[in-house]
């Protein structure tokens, strides 16, 4: 299975890492982690159900919010088996092909979520800067096409990353730094020249996260300029309030992402615990917080959810 240079030629198995410094089977970690996943599933499924059943929410803004919820679900479910397997059952080994599949879905759904955030920023830009043309510009068919483009971009841009890494030989030490498989983490274990993989990985990031963040920044620069040109303070406050939820979603997604990227590049001296917590925050915090923020800040969704709970309560009383 191993050659003299410790390169693996047989079936590969990666060893996943839990939280450094803590025992592998730790219920103090397993219970909160399971609670986060349940909260994520409940929040995003409730959001999707609310938008589907309330016809007043069948508008471009809420269609895009549905796409964000589905991307959040996909991102969290991609990490669910390995993370819960580690903390509940001490199952730390993951087959090479399974690791590549997990890595592919994590990075694909991350790229899809980034694209949806761009579409939501453009939605807010058109709603504030061109309110009279909003219904004519953002039609249902355009939103469907935009969703298809965002999905295909996430699928196609990340695919070569998985194909390239599958061709690499790996060394005997197969211990990953996280509870799931990430591209950079797998790449550091390869026993070959990984310049092509690194260059394409960087290219994929530029084609997705970098361009998306610039598009969001540009959209909000124009939004702020349009809002500041409004004379009425009440109109300014109303316009800003329509962007609060999306801004929170952008910050919740990009702050952990940027922090994790900086730590991978320049934080070699930091503890393994710091790397683990930032990676977990990047993958777990946005799917948990997004439905909470939108349910709290969006009156239509909040009213629909409250109506649902009141109706359920009345049904039990009857």
Number of structural domains, the chain?
Answer: 1
The whole-number average pLDDT for the span 301-315 is 64
| 116-127 pLDDT per residue, tens | 999 999 999 999
**Whether the predicted pLDDT of 311 surpasses 70:** no
The whole-number average pLDDT for the span 27-32 is 76
**pLDDT number for residue 233:** 78
d(CA 52, CA 47): 9
**Whether the predicted pLDDT of 179 surpasses 90:** no
d(CA 44, CA 71): 10
**Whether the predicted pLDDT of 18 surpasses 80:** no
- Residue 3 forms part of a structural domain: no
Question: Residue-wise over 161-191: b if at least 16 C-beta within 10 A, else e?
Answer: bbebbeebebeeebebbbbbbbbbbbbebbb
- Residue 5 forms part of a structural domain: no
Q: Check if the beta carbon of residue 225 is closer than 8 Å to that of residue 131.
A: no
317 — pLDDT class (breaks 50, 70, 90): very low
- Residue 2 forms part of a structural domain: no
CATH at 208: 1.20.1070.10
- Residue 295 forms part of a structural domain: yes
Q: Which string of DSSP letters, residue by residue, matches 246-269?
A: HHHHHHHHHHHHHHHHHHHHH-TT
From start to end of 109-209, where are the E strands? Answer: 170-171
The whole-number average pLDDT for the span 136-149 is 92
Span of 26-35, 80-89, 260-269 with lowest mean pLDDT: 260-269
pTM of the model: 0.88
| 218-241 pLDDT per residue, tens | 999 999 888 888 767 777 777 788
**pLDDT number for residue 1:** 45
- Residue 131 forms part of a structural domain: yes
The whole-number average pLDDT for the span 141-150 is 94
The whole-number average pLDDT for the span 18-36 is 73
189 — pLDDT class (breaks 50, 70, 90): confident
| 246-300 pLDDT per residue, tens | 888 898 899 888 887 777 666 666 777 777 778 888 888 889 999 888 887 777 7
**Whether the predicted pLDDT of 190 surpasses 80:** yes
- Sequence-ordered alpha helix ranges (H) in 90-139: 96-129, 134-137
65 — pLDDT class (breaks 50, 70, 90): very high
**pLDDT number for residue 26:** 63
**Whether the predicted pLDDT of 5 surpasses 70:** no
Q: Which domain range does residue 254 map to?
A: 11-317
Is residue 224 classed exposed, middle or buried when 0-12, 13-18 and 19+ CB atoms within 10 A define those classes?
A: middle
- Residue 45 forms part of a structural domain: yes
**What is the residue-averaged pLDDT of the chain?**
84
- Residue 57 forms part of a structural domain: yes
- Residue 4 forms part of a structural domain: no
**pLDDT number for residue 296:** 79
**pLDDT number for residue 41:** 93
């Amino acid at each position: 299975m191993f050659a003299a240079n410790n390169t693996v030629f047989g079936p590969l198995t990666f060893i996943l890492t839990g939280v450094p410094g803590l025992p592998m089977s730790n219920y103090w970690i397993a219970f909160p982690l399971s609670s986060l996943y349940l909260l994520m599933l409940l929040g995003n499924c409730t959001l999707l159900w609310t938008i589907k059943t309330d016809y007043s929410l069948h508008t471009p803004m809420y269609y895009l919010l549905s796409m964000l919820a589905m991307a959040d679900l996909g991102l969290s479910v991609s990490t669910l088996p390995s993370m819960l397997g580690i903390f509940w059952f001490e199952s730390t080994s993951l087959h090479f092909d399974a690791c590549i599949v997990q890595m592919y879905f994590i990075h694909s759904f991350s790229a899809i979520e980034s694209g949806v955030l761009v579409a939501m920023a453009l939605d807010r830009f058109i709603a504030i800067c061109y309110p009279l043309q909003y219904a004519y510009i953002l039609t249902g068919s355009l939103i469907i096409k935009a969703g298809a483009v965002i999905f295909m971009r996430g699928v196609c841009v990340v695919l070569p990353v998985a194909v390239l890494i599958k061709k690499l030989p790996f060394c005997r030490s197969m211990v990953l730094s996280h509870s799931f498989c990430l591209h950079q983490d797998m790449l550091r274990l390869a026993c070959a020249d990984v310049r092509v993989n690194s260059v394409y990985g960087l290219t994929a990031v530029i084609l997705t996260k970098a361009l998306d963040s610039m598009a969001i920044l540009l959209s909000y620069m124009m939004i702020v300029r349009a809002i500041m040109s409004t004379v009425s303070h009440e109109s300014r406050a109303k316009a800003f309030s329509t962007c609060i939820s999306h801004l929170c979603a952008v910050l919740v997604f990009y702050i952990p992402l940027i922090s994790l990227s900086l730590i991978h590049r320049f934080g070699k001296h930091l503890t393994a615990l710091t790397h683990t917590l930032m990676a977990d925050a990047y993958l777990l915090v946005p799917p948990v917080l997004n439905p909470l923020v939108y349910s709290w800040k969006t009156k239509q969704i909040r009213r629909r959810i409250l109506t649902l709970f009141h109706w359920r309560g009345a049904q039990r009383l009857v």
